A and B are shown apart, each in its own frame.
Chain A
């Protein structure tokens, strides 16, 4: 009788162990976003809000995509295209928010290499980016004055990879 009990106990332990699989949902990692912080061009150590900051992805040079939610008015996290080696964004500020004609759009292109990194069974592979550099399309009135790449490797979204001074 004791043996039967022991067998049932062990069998139920094994079954309960296999029943719940904790690795069905990906919680261990993610493809990082490119984090940009905005700084004051006159005081390069101070964060500066961008009035009415709006960032959109741009496809083929003329197809703006949906607005990417900001982290704050002085920071954005931008998704990079995995299948390509460059992604273009429109970053706009509007110093007079009530007047939509005064929106100043700057076009910024990031170039990078894509690395695939295995995370776990449920997450599979995520992309990391390396050799990051940027190109600002010059126009008559760029509100972005200076761009500084802090980290050419984008492996997490915890700290800024790029500083933009305005």
Chain B
């Protein structure tokens, strides 16, 4: 009986409730502004890493990085070290050295809401310091009178040429796509134009770290990379509207 009386006591309690006072707005204005991440993106070149494992004539790596300056502009840099041995018809040489490339990327891709991909063009100023070693060589002669079986090989220890350097500018065409949050996969093609080339008078530079092959009678070089990068977001910033919104009359 006592139990019932307690229940009855609860029945006498009042509870206040509120019903909706305003009407439901079925078309609310989206006030959530997507803020784009700004920060430092850094990573490595996968192609140089893969070539290191697959080709025993090459070891090298490249660290890439960029810093977002504005909606479309990024400061970008590459830093690398390469060692490559090449066998030509009449000579074998090894080039070994480091390079740094500094410049800008300009994103030409209009991202959809929430996306942060890029198709960019860019430019770099690049500097490389390296040494070149002539491992072995033969003397070229068309008349094979004294050496009918081939060219005359010179019996010599490898000759090293130190203190070589090169400066070039690079045109970059590339893309970066977000794989997961803050992880990006990228690729770029590069066309380099050699500005200065400090080389030995005896044996000129045939390959430059970062620039790749130096072609006869040409100052152009080509290269590429495949990058895996991580974006370290430092802050977020909303994109500034292109045009001021027209205020609606109330």
**A residues bordering B, Cβ < 8 Å?**
3, 7, 10-11, 14, 17-18, 21-23, 26, 28-31, 33, 57, 65-66, 68, 77, 79, 81-83, 87, 116, 118-127
Residues of A within 8 A of B222 (CB): 14, 17-18
Q: Bound complex: CA of A118 vs CA of B154, how far in Å?
A: 13
Q: A26-B89, A26-B140, A31-B139 are in contact. Are A11 and B145 (CB under 8 A)?
A: no
B145 CB to nearest A CB, Å: 4
Q: A21-B215, A31-B139, A31-B140 are in contact. Are A65 and B91 (CB under 8 A)?
A: no
Q: What are 6 A-to-B residue pairs whose CB atoms are below 8 Å?
A: A26-B90, A31-B141, A57-B145, A79-B143, A118-B202, A122-B90
Residues of B within 8 A of A79 (CB): 141, 143, 145-146
> Do residues B89 and A122 form an inter-chain contact, with CB atoms below 8 A?
yes
A103 CB to nearest B CB, Å: 21
Chain B residues within 8 Å of chain A by Cβ, number: 29
| Binary flags per residue of B126-137, CB closer than 8 Å to A gives 1, else 0 | 000000000001
> Do residues A126 and B216 form an inter-chain contact, with CB atoms below 8 A?
no
Taking A30-B140, A81-B146 as known contacts, 5 extra A-B pairs with beta carbons closer than 8 A to each other, sorted by chain A number, are A10-B189, A30-B142, A82-B146, A125-B137, A125-B138
> Do residues A82 and B145 form an inter-chain contact, with CB atoms below 8 A?
no
Residues of B within 8 A of A28 (CB): 216
Nearest 5 CB-CB pairings of A with B: A124-B90, A31-B141, A23-B216, A79-B145, A79-B143
**B residues bordering A, Cβ < 8 Å?**
88-91, 108, 119, 137-143, 145-147, 152, 154, 173, 189, 191, 202-204, 206, 215-216, 220, 222
Residues of A within 8 A of B108 (CB): 3
Residues of A within 8 A of B191 (CB): 14
> Do residues A121 and B216 form an inter-chain contact, with CB atoms below 8 A?
yes
A89 CB to nearest B CB, Å: 11
> Do residues A124 and B189 form an inter-chain contact, with CB atoms below 8 A?
no
> Do residues B143 and A33 form an inter-chain contact, with CB atoms below 8 A?
yes
Residues of B within 8 A of A11 (CB): 173, 189
> Do residues B173 and A118 form an inter-chain contact, with CB atoms below 8 A?
no
Q: A11-B189, A57-B146 are in contact. Are A124 and B140 (CB under 8 A)?
A: yes
Residues of A within 8 A of B202 (CB): 118
Residues of B within 8 A of A7 (CB): 119, 173
Q: A7-B119, A11-B173 are in contact. Are A116 and B145 (CB under 8 A)?
A: no
> Do residues B140 and A82 form an inter-chain contact, with CB atoms below 8 A?
no
Q: Which of B138, B204, B215: most chain A CB closer than 10 A? A: B215
> Do residues B88 and A82 form an inter-chain contact, with CB atoms below 8 A?
no
> Do residues B145 and A65 form an inter-chain contact, with CB atoms below 8 A?
yes
> Do residues A116 and B154 form an inter-chain contact, with CB atoms below 8 A?
yes
Q: Bound complex: CA of A125 vs CA of B191, how far in Å?
A: 29
